[in-house]
Structure formats: structure tokens, C-alpha cells
Amino acid sequence: MLTLDKIKAQISSRQVLIKSPTYNPYRTNLQSQFRSDLYPIPLNYFHELNPFTTIDLDTIEHLNYCHIITLRDGAISFSDFLLNNINRIQQLETHFLIRPELAPLIPEQFKSKFSSWRISQAKRIRPEEADNIFLFVLVGEDLISNIHNLKNQFLNLKDKIKSKNLILFQSQRKSPFENEWKDSTLFHELLDMIKTIFHDNKINYVKIKDVMATNSWHKIYCIDLFENHLLHSDNYLNHFIAARGGTIERFLINNQDDIIFRLQLSLYHEMTIHPLPNIKTHFPEILFYKKKFPKSDLLWDKAFHHLIKKYCP
């Protein structure tokens, strides 16, 4: 069960895995691939509630050093972690914070060991009030689920941002859970879509180094189009931009219910901890899959990914 004492103990301990002397984000090929394929999304950022991704975990026993861990995983690596460590998780004192979208994966008997976390911004601007609009997208067959959803999103945005400058970072990538590139026309389709819909806007194409070198994001409204809860649930770039004054579309407004605790992450955004959403668990289904295919490496199993996608859309 999550208590305020536990939260305060974690904060005052400052035992944060990414600052551990033995932490190595490039220890395995998977970690390197993860960081390269999804750069800059998995980059590390700091707060005392221990933001971490399970693919970086050397041994689960390391979690014993932490009262609380804030997981940034997508559904694939998170379910793989659960299924491979279910007995050991039971023995840990550690409390896990996960994104609410991953709640359907939690076994019923473990729900007391999990809470959810969100990010919000108290001061936000509307797209109409921005000087510039920043679009961030990683494009690939396994990265973008539905290009038609994006089209609708753009059409909704179009009238709000007439004559505004569009700053576009678009990069072709592959899923880190694929070894080979797949040929895809998505990159060009998306680019054509953006140019067509936003034909009245000046589009400035930027490289990631330009984005990371920008120190002020005030009056910039940022739309992170990488909405892929399977691969990763917490984009570093959103934190980077928010900490420099940008408004992040997907961050919530600051008036939520059920807040157990708030942690200020920058002058402009905060993390809030909530109870786990009260929804049906699908852990038995994924456990059944694991038992049916015991030799399957779930991180690379496309059928397993499809199964997970059903429960964490």
C-alpha cells in the first residue's frame, strides 16, 4: 500500500537507480537499440521518485534499495517484466508507480503494490495563443498505429493555428523490438499530409540537435505525436520542453481528483500520484500466453505485442 511515509522516505533517501554507480544504460544490446531507435524519448531525467525503465534493470534485487520506483515502460517491456518476475515482485517492499494505461496488466493480487502517475502543467497556453507550434513524431510501421487518427488531430488543429509557424521534427525509426528495418511509405505519407493540411503555415524542419539546443520554449505549444504506449510511456523530450516553459499538449491541466501526492519537476510541470484506476485486469490472459509459449521471448514476439495492444490501446 502506498503511504505518505513511504513517499517521503523515498524522497529523503534519494536512492535513485539512474544515479547508482553501477547503472549502465548501454550494458546490453537491447538497451543500446532501445536508446538508438527511440532517441531522445528514453533519455533519463531526474526526480527523487526514481524514474526508470525495466529494460535497464540488472537484477530485480536492486529494487530493494528503493521504496518507490516510477516506471516509464511501455506495455511490452512492462508485461515482460511482470511475467518474468511475478514471484519476486511479491517479495519486494518497493512500491511501483505506472502510467494509468498499463493498469489492465496488473494482477489482481498485486494491485496494492501499484499506483499510477501523471504529469500536469498549471500554466498552459492554448494553440491560438502560441507563437510557434512544435510537432514531434517518430515514424515507422510499428511506431504509428493509425495515420487516420493523426489526420483528424491535424484537422482539429488547423483552424486554431492559422498563420502560426510550425516547427516539425519528423524522423523515420523502427521499433526497438524489431531487428530489421521495414520499408515504409509512412514517412512521406505523413509529411505530405502535414504539408497539405497546413499549407497556410510556414513549416520549419528541425533536427533533434536543434531541438535539444533550444533553451527557451516559452509561448510554444508542443504536440507529441509519438503516442505508442506499447514501446514507451514517458517521452523525455516532453519534460525537457516543459522545463523550459513550453506547453505540452498531452500533459494534463492541474485540477485532477484523487491526488495522493504532488512532486514539482520543474517551474512549469509536476508529477501527481493517483490510485491505480479501478479496471478489469487482463493479467490472466497474458499469463496464459506465457504458459502456452514458454520458450517465446515476449519482447520480440509479435503475437504477444498484438495481444497486449488489445488491453492497452
Partner 1 sequence: MLKIACVFSNKPSSWISCQKIVFNLHKAYQLLGNKFELIHFNFSDDTINKNELESLANEIFKQQPDIITFLDHRPHPQQLFDFLMPLYNNQEKPKIIFHIFGDFSLHFTNWYELEKNLLKFPVEFVVASDRQKILIDKMLNSSTSIICPFPVETNEFYFDENLRRQQRLSWNIKEQDKVYIYTGRLTRQKRTKTLIESFAEVFHENNDAHLFLYGDPDHIGDPFVGVHEIEGEYFRYLYRYFDNLPEKLKSRIHFMGGVPNKELLSVYCGADYLVIPSVHNDEDFGMSIAEAQFTGLPAILSDWGGLASFHHENLGEATRFIPVKIGTSSKLLAKNSLKKHLKDSFNEPLKQSRERLAHLAIAKFGIEYCSRIIMDTLIAEKNNFKGFSALLKQISFEESTRRGLPLFVSKKGKLRKIYKEIYSAYTR
Compare residues 11 and 260 and give the one whose CB is closer to partner 1.
11
- Residues in contact with partner 1, counted by CB under 8 A, come to a total of 24
Judged by CB under 8 A, the stretch of 2-10, 64-72, 144-152, 210-218 that binds partner 1 is: 210-218
At its nearest, how many Å lie between partner 1 and the CB of residue 77? 21
Q: Dihedral angle at the C-alpha atoms of 94, 100, 104, 109, nearest 10 degrees?
A: 30
Q: Interaction with partner 1 in 46-105: which residues (CB under 8 A)?
A: 46-48
Judged by CB under 8 A, the stretch of 40-48, 136-144, 273-281, 290-298 that binds partner 1 is: 40-48
What is the spatial distance between Cα 81 and Cα 265, in angstroms, rounded to a whole number? 27
What is the spatial distance between Cα 204 and Cα 132, in angstroms, rounded to a whole number? 10
At its nearest, how many Å lie between partner 1 and the CB of residue 236? 7
Q: Pick one of 83, 186, 193, 243: the residue that binds partner 1 (CB under 8 A).
A: 243
Cell of 263: 512532486
What is the spatial distance between Cα 33 and Cα 26, in angstroms, rounded to a whole number? 9
Q: Kindly tell me the burial class for residue 279, based on how many C-beta atoms sit within 10 Å of its own C-beta (0-12, 13-18, 19 or more).
A: exposed
Contact 171, 37 (CB under 8 A): no
Compare residues 40 and 275 and give the one whose CB is closer to partner 1.
40
Judged by CB under 8 A, the stretch of 39-47, 62-70, 145-153, 298-306 that binds partner 1 is: 39-47
Exposure b/e, 183-215, CB count within 10 A at least 16 = b? ebebbeebbebbeebbeebeeeeeeeeebeebe
What is the spatial distance between Cα 108 and Cα 105, in angstroms, rounded to a whole number? 9
Kindly write out the interface string for residues 213-242 of this chain, putting x where it contacts partner 1 by CB under 8 A and - elsewhere: xxxx-x-----------------x--xx--
11 binds partner 1 (CB under 8 A): yes
Rg (CA), the chain: 20
Taken as a whole, the chain contains a residue count of 313
245 binds partner 1 (CB under 8 A): yes
Q: Interaction with partner 1 in 111-170: which residues (CB under 8 A)?
A: none
Q: Pick one of 261, 268, 283, 304: the residue that binds partner 1 (CB under 8 A).
A: 268
Handedness of CA 43, 44, 49, 52 (dihedral sign): positive
| Residue linked to cell 534499495 | 65
Compare residues 68 and 103 and give the one whose CB is closer to partner 1.
68
In single-letter form, the type of residue at position 121 comes to: Q
At its nearest, how many Å lie between partner 1 and the CB of residue 115? 20
At its nearest, how many Å lie between partner 1 and the CB of residue 155? 32
DSSP conformational letter for 276: P
Q: Pick one of 39, 45, 65, 110: the residue that binds partner 1 (CB under 8 A).
A: 45
At its nearest, how many Å lie between partner 1 and the CB of residue 37? 20
At its nearest, how many Å lie between partner 1 and the CB of residue 60? 24
- For partner 1, the binding residues (CB under 8 A) are 11, 18, 43-48, 213-216, 218, 236, 239-240, 243-245, 264-268
